[in-house]
Amino acid sequence: MDAYDIFKKLAVGSKFNMQRFQSDAEKFKLINKQTKNVPNDEVETNGFVDVCSKTSLKRKYEEAEEEKKIDTLTLIKGMSVPVDGSKVKTKTNKNSMTEAKKIKLEREQINQFRNQHHISVTGSHVPKSIATFDELLTEYQVSKKLLNNMKECGYEQPTPIQMQAIPVLLQNRQLLACAPTGSGKTAAFLLPIIHHLNAPQKQGFRAIILSPTRELAKQTYRECLRLSEDYGFRIHIISKINQALSKYGPKSSQKFDILITTPKRLVFLLKQEPPAISLANVQWLIVDEADKLFEDGMRGFRDQLEEISTACTNSNLHRALFSATTTPAVTKWCRKNLKGLITVTVGQRNSAVDLIEQELLFVGSERGKLVAIRNIILKGIAPPVLVFVQSKERAQELFSELIYDGINVDVIHADRTQTQRDNVVRCFREGKIWVLICTELMGRGIDFKGVNLVINYDFPPTTISYIHRIGRTGRAGHKGKAITFFTEQDTTNLRSIATVMRASGCDVPEYMLAMKKHSKKERRKLERTAPERDTILTVPKYKQHVTKKLHKKNAVNIKKVTKNTH
C-alpha cells in the first residue's frame, strides 16, 4: 500500500475543493495536468473527486468500484472487512442485523409491558411476562384443566405478580417475589406447583408451603384444593399435631404430595426420634410471608426455617419466597443462598395499596378510642369490619365493651381454641359476624372477601404491620378504607406511617411528616413490647376494679353466647 492508497482510504467519503488542493491532487495522481482547467464538475466517487471529462470520470468510477471489491483487510482468520471502511453488506450480516433488531425490539416490548404493570425484575435470563393465562397453554404446556380451575375461581386475567412470577417458576427458577397485599400471590405460586407436580405420585411430599399462622395455612390449603381440582393430589395441612405424628410415619407419608403448614409444627415432626416426616423428596419449598418467617427471636421463625431447609435434601430443590413486604435480611439471604435467583417486585417495595383510603384519627386517650369507635358504629358501618388491637387481653376487653352495643361482634386471638378460631373465621366469612376484633394473628395474608373497613384501634407496632393490617381491605382491585387511632403515646411510628400514607396518595398533615425521627432503638423496643395502655373500659378509672371483675365474669358468659350463635 503506497501513499496514494493510504490517502484514498483516509479520504473515503470526503469532498474537497479541487481548486484549492489542485497541487496535492496532482501529486497523488488524482488528476492529469492537462485536465486541470476543466470547469468544476464535482463527482463523489468514494473518496476522490476529480475534475475531468465525463468519460474519464466514468472510467475512474468503474476502477474505484472494481478496487473496492477486492480491497479487503483480513482482521481475524475468516473475518474480513472492506479496507474503505464501508460496512459489509453480505447476506449473513443482513440476517444477523435483522435478528439483533428483532431481539432489541422484543426486549423493548417486554420492558414496556413490565413498566406498564409496575413490574421490576432482577436476575439473568428472566422469562417474559405473560399477558393472559392462555399463553401458558402454548408457551409452557400448562393443562387446560388447570386453566379451567383458575377460571372457576374467577381468575380471568393474571394480576401483575402472576404475569411475572408464574413464568419464572414454570421455568424452574428460584424466586423472591414482593407484591402488594391482596394482589394474588397465592395463585402465583400454586399454579406452577400444581403444573410441575402434574399428577399424584407415591413419593412423599414434593412441595411444601410454609405460612406464619394456622389461619393462613388453612386458607392456602383451601385455595390449593380449588386450583388442583381433578388432579387427585393428596394435599395435607398439619392441624392436630398428635394426629400428625401417627399420620406421617415414614411409610404413610409416601402417599402425600403437598404439605401446607406453619414452620413450628413441621419442625416438631422433624425433631422426633426418628423424624416423623421425611422431606427428602421435596422439590418445591414456598415461603409465604417470607419477611415474617425470617424474623429472629421469640416471635420469629428464622431458626425453624433453617431446620426445614436443611431437611429438604433433594438436589432438585427449588425455593420461592413471597411477601407484600420485605427486609434487607431476606434479600441478602436469597442472594447468598438461591442459585440463579430472580427477584420480582410489583410497585414500590413496602408500600400500602393505593385503593385504600387511609385516615389517621387523633383520639386523645384510651377512653377517646372507645368514644371514636362507637361514633363510627353509630354513623353506620358497612360490614365486614376488622378491628386490630395490640394484645389478646385488649381484644377480649374491647369485645366485652362492644358485645352490648347491638352489633354482631366477635373476637379472635391465640388464646381461643382452634375450634373457636375456625368457627369465628367461618362466621365472619359467611357474614354472620359484622365486626371482628383481632390481634396481629390476622394481620398477614388473611383474605376475607370484601372487608370494607379496617380500624387500627391500637397503633400498629411497625410500618410493616400497618401495611399488612390495612391490606385486609382493598384486595383484588376492590376499594377499602382504613382508620388508625392515635394518642400522644403513639408518636414513635407516626411519622413513618404518615410517610407510607403519603406515598400511596393519601392526605396527611404536613406536621406529621416533619416530626422528629425516632431512634432505631426506640422503634425496636416498640416492635418487641407493646406500650402499656389503660384498660379498655367505659367507666372512669376509680371504678375500674369493680368493672374489671364484672368483665371477667362476662367473658365466661360471652363464650357461651358466641358458642350458641355459631
| Identity of the residue, 159 or 487, whose beta carbon is nearer to ligand ATP in the bound complex | 159
Q: Under a CB-based contact definition with an 8 Å cutoff, are residues 441 and 416 in contact?
A: no
Residue 189 binds ligand ATP (CB under 6 A)? no
- Relative orientation angle of helices 494-503 and 463-470, to the nearest 10 degrees: 50
187 part of the interface to ligand ATP, by CB under 6 A: yes
The one among 49, 126, 127, 158 contacting ligand ATP by CB under 6 A = 158
Whether the bond between 461 and the residue before it is cis, its omega within 30 degrees of 0, is no
475 is an interface residue for ligand ATP by CB under 6 A: yes
User: Which part of the chain contacts ligand ATP (CB under 6 A), choosing from 54-62, 123-131, 153-161, 237-245?
Assistant: 153-161
Among 129, 162, 465, 496, binds ligand ATP (CB under 6 A): 162
**185 belongs to the binding site for ligand ATP (CB under 6 A):** yes
Question: Minimum Å distance from CB 195 to ligand ATP?
Answer: 16
Among 84, 447, 458, 490, binds ligand ATP (CB under 6 A): 447
Task: Closer to ligand ATP by CB, 250 or 477: give it.
Answer: 477
Q: Which is nearer to ligand ATP, 155 or 466 (CB)?
A: 155
Stretch that binds ligand ATP, among 64-72, 177-185, 236-244, 554-562 (CB under 6 A): 177-185
Residue whose CB is less far from ligand ATP, 467 or 498:
467
3-state secondary structure of 456: strand
Q: What's the distance, CA 321 to chain centroid?
A: 9
For residues 270 and 248, the answer to whether their CB atoms sit within 8 Å is no
Find the shortest distance in angstroms from Cβ 171 to ligand ATP.
20
For helices 366-379 and 392-402, give the axis angle rounded to 10 degrees: 50
Q: Which is nearer to ligand ATP, 285 or 324 (CB)?
A: 324
Pick from 8, 114, 129, 155 the residue near ligand ATP by CB under 6 A. Answer: 155
Least spacing, CB of residue 447 vs ligand ATP, in Å: 4
* 183 contacts ligand ATP (rule: CB under 6 A): yes
Nearest distance in Å: CB 449, ligand ATP: 6
C-alpha 163/C-alpha 57 separation (Å) is 64
CA 250 to mean position of chain CA atoms: 36
Report the C-alpha gap between 386 and 388 in whole angstroms: 7
Of 215 and 366, CB closest to ligand ATP: 215
Span interacting with ligand ATP, options 164-172, 181-189, 293-301, 547-555, rule CB under 6 A: 181-189
Packing angle of the helix pair 544-565, 392-402 (nearest 10 deg): 80
CA–CA distance from 41 to each of 24, 36, 38, 61 (Å)?
A: 18, 11, 8, 14
Examine residue 159 and tell whether it contacts ligand ATP (CB under 6 A).
Answer: yes
Q: Which residue is nearest to ligand ATP (CB)?
A: 184
Q: Which stretch binds ligand ATP (CB under 6 A): 6-14, 16-24, 182-190, 434-442?
A: 182-190
Cα-based distances in Å from 230 to 58, 141, 198, 408:
80, 18, 11, 38
**Alpha-carbon span 7 to 24, nearest angstrom:** 11
Residue 48 touching ligand ATP (CB under 6 A): no
Specify the stretch interacting with ligand ATP by CB under 6 A; choose among 178-186, 293-301, 307-315, 527-535. 178-186
Residue 192 as a binder of ligand ATP (CB under 6 A): the answer is no
State the amino acid at position 548 in one-letter form: K
Distance CA 437, CA 469 (A): 12
Taking the C-alpha atoms of 512, 515, 521 and 525 in order, what is their torsion angle to the nearest 10 degrees?
A: -40
Residue 184 as a binder of ligand ATP (CB under 6 A): the answer is: yes
Q: Does 460 bind ligand ATP (CB under 6 A)?
A: no
Q: Which of 248, 558, 535, 235 is nearest to 365 (CA)?
A: 535
Stretch that binds ligand ATP, among 15-23, 72-80, 351-359, 469-477 (CB under 6 A): 469-477
Q: Do 339 and 300 contact (CB within 8 A), yes or no?
A: no
Residue 200 burial (C-beta neighbours within 10 Å; 0-12, 13-18, 19+) = middle
Find, among 468, 518, 510, 470, the residue nearest to 490 by Cα.
518
Quick note: the x/- pattern for ligand ATP over 499-528, rule CB under 6 A, is ------------------------------
Cell of 73: 483487510
For ligand ATP, the binding residue among 137, 407, 476, 530 (CB under 6 A) is 476
Q: According to the 3-state scheme, what is the secondary structure of 5-18?
A: HHHHHHCCCCCCCC
| Nearest distance in Å: CB 528, ligand ATP | 24
The values of phi and psi at residue 429, to 5°, are: -65, -35
Taking the complex as a whole, how short is the minimal distance between the CB of residue 368 and ligand ATP, in angstroms? 30
Using rule CB under 6 A, residue 445 touches ligand ATP: yes
Which of 40, 69, 141, 154: binder of ligand ATP (CB under 6 A)? Answer: 154
Cell of 196: 410441575
Quick check: 471 binds ligand ATP (CB under 6 A)?
yes
Q: Is 186 in the site for ligand ATP (CB under 6 A)?
A: yes
- Judged by the rule CB under 6 A, the positions of this chain that interact with ligand ATP are 154-155, 157-159, 162, 179, 181-187, 324, 445, 447, 471, 475-476
